[in-house]
Structure formats: structure tokens, C-alpha cells
């Protein structure tokens, strides 16, 4: 599964957030045979449509899609000099498919700030500089190797050129993802600053209802996405029953918990979407990539579904809700038969037909 690595300076609230993520861990409950790694938190992608489907189909259970987060130990200023970023750190972050950077925006004189004062812009610069310096080190070595390989005709000159372009951007102080740089020819290098970024602003409770302040922070990181939460409140929400949690959430001026926001925006940043299946046993969301065609999507349920794919019966979620049942949707011509070239759409409720 694709994962999002959580990074940030020390004392910004990473552990508090990650604890909330792991206490919310659905893996143990829904997937009892899955291996659970200590530094991975698996959370549900909130999807209110599943409850509606379960009502229509009388499903016994609901299985949402999930998003995985990896806790990656803190980065400090200067980490890429001297000893360099730790090997374990680099391995974990290289394996992540996106990076969620936790940024301290809360003021609390009891919590020491590593740089002496709360300054989100400066903190983000510190982290991004470390990631960029690590990438520059990787590129320096790779460029020497690529130059030899181009001479020996073992590598496409375009690969070397991509590495040179990446180095130039980094030297100019831009992360590769914020420049929209396509690093796919040099994917093997696992460049950190080329991964999609999400910024998680850990703010004071009061800020959660302050649209102006949030817009200000969001503008600092655009076009990357920003999530606003109070990690302390997130950890409190986890312990509450749904009603009390809703009350606490409402009191902070939020309609959605920070963890839900993070799951939703994380899922989207990873380039993922879902389609839905429903029946008396379960209503379920299945994770696919954006732009996937029907057979590939069927393969997520079972490889045989992809190999033996014949067609898919697709009903849009809104159509199904309006019709109230599959039979009625068919009667009104809202159930479409789609073939192997059909590109899956978000909210498709699907039944695959296949040869075994
Ligand atoms: P990490 O070093 O980034 O993992 O940070 P921690 O999660 O350990 O948090 C550092 C300290 O800040 C702890 O004492 C937390 O209780 C506190 N803290 C974390 N999030 C918040 C927050 O949103 N508001 C306040 N006031 N304190 C927080």
C-alpha cells in the first residue's frame, strides 16, 4: 500500500498526532491477519456514502478504504551536514509515497521550541532545506555515475539531463515538488523533495475557527495542500464516543476532525480514488489509482476478476440513492454496462462480471 511519511522538527506535535493516528488504527479490527508495524498507523478514509449503501443493501458491515502513515523520526537543523540524516530516517522517508510535514503554529510557553520561537515559515524552510540538501548529495553521486554510464551508452542521456535539471532547481532553493518537476526518469534515486507534500499545521484551538489565519498559512504552502488541526484535541477526540466527539468538534468550529481531513487530503495527494461495492455482507470502498480502467479496478478485488473480466455494471452513487434499489435503477435505465475501456469514476457502485 502507498504510505505517507510524517516529518517535522522536534516538539511540533508529531508524536501526539501519530498516537492519535494509531489509536484510531483500524487495521487490527478489520484486517486481523495483517502485520502491524509499530511505526505505521492505518486510518480509515471517511466516506459517508458507505453508511447509505449499507442501509440500501442491508449490509452486515462497512469496510472503508484506508490510508497508511509512517512515523519518521525528527529532523533537526544541520542534520544533512556532518553525520547526515540517519540511515533509518532516509530509508523510511525514501519508501514513503508522500510527505506530511507537521508544522508548529501553536503557542505554548511550556513547550520548548527548538529554534526559540514559534515561526512556521522558518520551520518549514529548515525542514525543506534539509530535504533538499539530502537530495543534492544524492544527485551529486548519481550525476558522476550517470556521466560515466552515458559515455558507455548504458543510460539514456535524458536521465542525466533530468538529474542536472533537478540539481539546478535545488541549487536555486526550490523543492522539486513545488516546482512541479517530473522526476520520473530518475525515480530510482528516491528524491525526497520530489514527493508530493502536505503541510499539517498544528495550531491553537482558537485558530480552527479563524478562516483568515488559516488562509494566511495555506497561502504560504500553496499549491501544496494544508491541513489544520490541534494535535491535543485530536488525541482527546479519539477517546470519546461519537456523540461527545461531535460535540467537542463543533465547539472548535470544525465540521471534520483533523485526522479525517488528513486521511482525505492524504488519499487525494497520493493520487488515489475509490469505487464502491455493496451487498448483504458488506458495503465496501476499494482503492484504485485515478484514471484506472474497469479491468484493473476489478483486479483489486481479485486477480481473477481482472484476468476474466467481461464487463461491469455501474450505477452512480447519487442515481442509486435516488432510485433506492438496484432493480429500480435498472428499470429506470440508470445501471450502465461498461466494457474494458471504461475509466472508473469516483462514486461508481460496481458489480463485475467475469469468467473464472
Ligand atoms: P514531537 O517531538 O514532534 O513528536 O512532539 P510531541 O508530540 O512530543 O509534542 C511536544 C510537546 O508539545 C508535548 O508536550 C505535547 O503535549 C505538546 N503539544 C503537541 N501538540 C500540541 C498542541 O496542539 N497544543 C499544545 N498546546 N501543545 C501541544
CATH number at residue 344: 3.10.20.30
Residue nearest to atom 15 of ligand 1 (CA): 13
Q: End of a domain among 240, 272, 304?
A: 272
Q: End of a domain among 272, 304, 319?
A: 272
Query: Is 277 within the bounds of a domain?
Result: no
Query: Is 346 within the bounds of a domain?
Result: yes
Report the relative pairing of strands 272-278 and 225-229 from DSSP bridges. Answer: unpaired
Residue nearest to atom 6 of ligand 1 (CA): 13
Q: How far apart are CA 199 and CA 265, in angstroms?
A: 10
Q: What is the pLDDT of residues 183-235, one digit of tens each?
A: 999 999 999 999 999 999 999 998 998 999 999 999 999 999 999 999 999 99
Kindly report the backbone phi and psi dihedral angles of residue 199, in degrees, each rounded to the nearest multiple of 5, phi listed first. -105, 125
Angle at 200 (CA atoms; ends 197, 203), nearest 5 degrees? 160
Query: Is 181 within the bounds of a domain?
Result: yes
354 close to 310: Cβ distance less than 8 angstroms: yes
Query: Is 283 within the bounds of a domain?
Result: no
Q: End of a domain among 214, 241, 272?
A: 272
pTM: 0.89
Residues with CB under 6 A from ligand 1: 8, 10-16, 74, 106, 108, 111, 202, 230-232
Atom of ligand 1 nearest to the CA of 17: 7
Query: Is 52 within the bounds of a domain?
Result: no
Q: Are residues 305 and 199 in the same domain?
A: no
Q: What is the DSSP letter of 71?
A: E
Residue nearest to atom 17 of ligand 1 (CA): 13
| 14 carries a ligand binding annotation | yes
| 16 carries a ligand binding annotation | yes
What residues of the chain score a pLDDT lower than 50? none
Q: Are residues 265 and 323 in the same domain?
A: no
Query: Is 54 within the bounds of a domain?
Result: no
Query: Is 57 within the bounds of a domain?
Result: no
| Number of domains present in the structure of the chain | 2
CATH number at residue 195: 3.40.50.300
Q: Are residues 186 and 326 in the same domain?
A: no
Q: Long-range contact list for 207-215, CB < 8 A, 24+ apart?
A: 207/105, 208/233, 208/252, 208/253, 208/254, 209/252, 209/253, 209/254
- Residue-number span of the structural domain to which 326 is assigned: 291-354
Q: Are residues 36 and 132 in the same domain?
A: yes
Q: Are residues 308 and 350 in the same domain?
A: yes
Atom of ligand 1 nearest to the CA of 230: 23
Query: Is 262 within the bounds of a domain?
Result: yes
Residue nearest to atom 18 of ligand 1 (CA): 13
Angle at 271 (CA atoms; ends 23, 186), nearest 5 degrees? 110
Q: Are residues 100 and 234 in the same domain?
A: yes
Q: Are residues 251 and 313 in the same domain?
A: no
| Structure-block grid coordinates of residue 101 | 510535514
User: Residue 34 has what pLDDT?
Assistant: 55
Q: What is the ipTM of this complex?
A: 0.96
Q: Are residues 15 and 153 in the same domain?
A: yes
What Cα–Cα distance (Å) separates residue 59 from each residue in 255, 284, 287? 27, 10, 19
Q: Are residues 224 and 259 in the same domain?
A: yes
Distance in Å, CA 16 to ligand 1 centroid: 6
Q: Are residues 147 and 252 in the same domain?
A: yes
Q: Are residues 83 and 18 in the same domain?
A: yes
Kindly report the backbone phi and psi dihedral angles of residue 274, in degrees, each rounded to the nearest multiple of 5, phi listed first. -125, 160
Distance in Å, CA 86 to ligand 1 centroid: 23
SS3 310: strand
Amino acid at each position: 500500500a502507498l504510505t505517507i511519511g510524517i516529518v517535522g522538527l522536534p516538539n511540533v506535535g508529531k508524536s501526539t498526532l501519530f498516537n492519535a493516528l494509531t489509536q484510531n488504527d483500524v487495521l487490527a479490527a478489520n484486517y486481523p491477519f495483517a502485520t502491524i508495524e509499530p511505526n505505521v498507523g492505518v486510518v480509515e478514509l471517511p466516506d459517508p456514502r458507505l453508511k447509505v449503501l449499507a442501509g440500501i443493501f442491508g449490509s452486515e458491515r462497512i469496510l472503508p478504504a484506508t490510508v497508511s502513515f509512517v512515523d519518521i523520526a525528527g529532523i533537526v537543523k544541520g542534520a544533512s551536514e556532518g553525520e547526515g540524516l540517519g540511515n533509518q530516517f532516509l530509508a523510511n522517508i525514501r519508501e514513503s509515497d508522500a510527505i506530511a510535514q507537521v508544522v508548529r503554529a501553536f503557542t505554548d510557553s511550556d513547550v520548548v521550541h527548538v529554534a526559540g520561537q514559534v515561526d512556521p515559515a522558518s520551520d518549514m524552510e529548515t525542514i525543506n532545506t534539509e530535504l533538499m540538501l539530502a537530495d543534492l548529495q544524492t544527485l551529486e553521486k548519481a550525476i558522476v555515475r550517470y556521466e560515466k554510464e552515458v559515455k558507455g551508452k548504458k543510460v539514456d542521456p535524458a536521465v542525466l539531463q533530468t538529474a542536472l535539471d533537478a540539481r539546478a532547481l535545488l541549487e536555486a532553493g526550490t523543492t522539486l515538488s513545488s516546482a512541479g518537476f517530473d522526476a520520473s526518469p530518475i525515480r530510482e534515486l528516491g528524491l525526497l523533495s520530489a514527493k508530493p507534500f502536505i503541510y499539517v499545521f498544528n495550531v491553537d484551538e482558537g485558530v480552527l475557527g479563524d478562516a483568515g489565519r488559516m488562509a494566511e498559512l495555506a497561502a504560504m504552502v500553496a499549491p501544496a495542500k494544508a491541513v489544520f488541526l490541534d494535535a491535543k484535541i485530536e488525541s482527546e477526540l479519539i477517546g470519546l464516543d461519537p456523540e461527545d466527539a461531535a460535540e467537542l468538534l463543533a465547539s472548535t468550529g470544525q465540521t471534520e476532525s483533523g485526522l479525517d481531513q488528513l486521511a482525505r487530503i492524504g488519499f487525494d495527494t497520493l493520487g488515489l480514488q475509490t469505487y464502491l461495492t455493496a451487498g448483504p455482507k458488506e458495503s465496501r470502498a476499494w482503492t484504485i489509482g485515478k484514471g484506472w480502467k474497469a479491468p484493473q479496478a476489478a483486479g483489486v478485488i481479485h486477480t481473477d476478476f481482472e484476468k476474466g473480466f467481461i464487463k461491469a455494471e455501474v450505477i452512480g452513487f447519487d442515481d442509486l440513492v435516488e432510485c433506492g434499489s438496484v432493480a429500480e435503477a435498472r428499470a429506470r435505465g440508470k445501471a450502465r454496462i461498461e466494457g474494458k475501456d471504461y475509466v472508473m469514476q469516483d462514486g461508481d457502485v460496481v458489480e463485475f462480471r467475469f469468467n473464472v
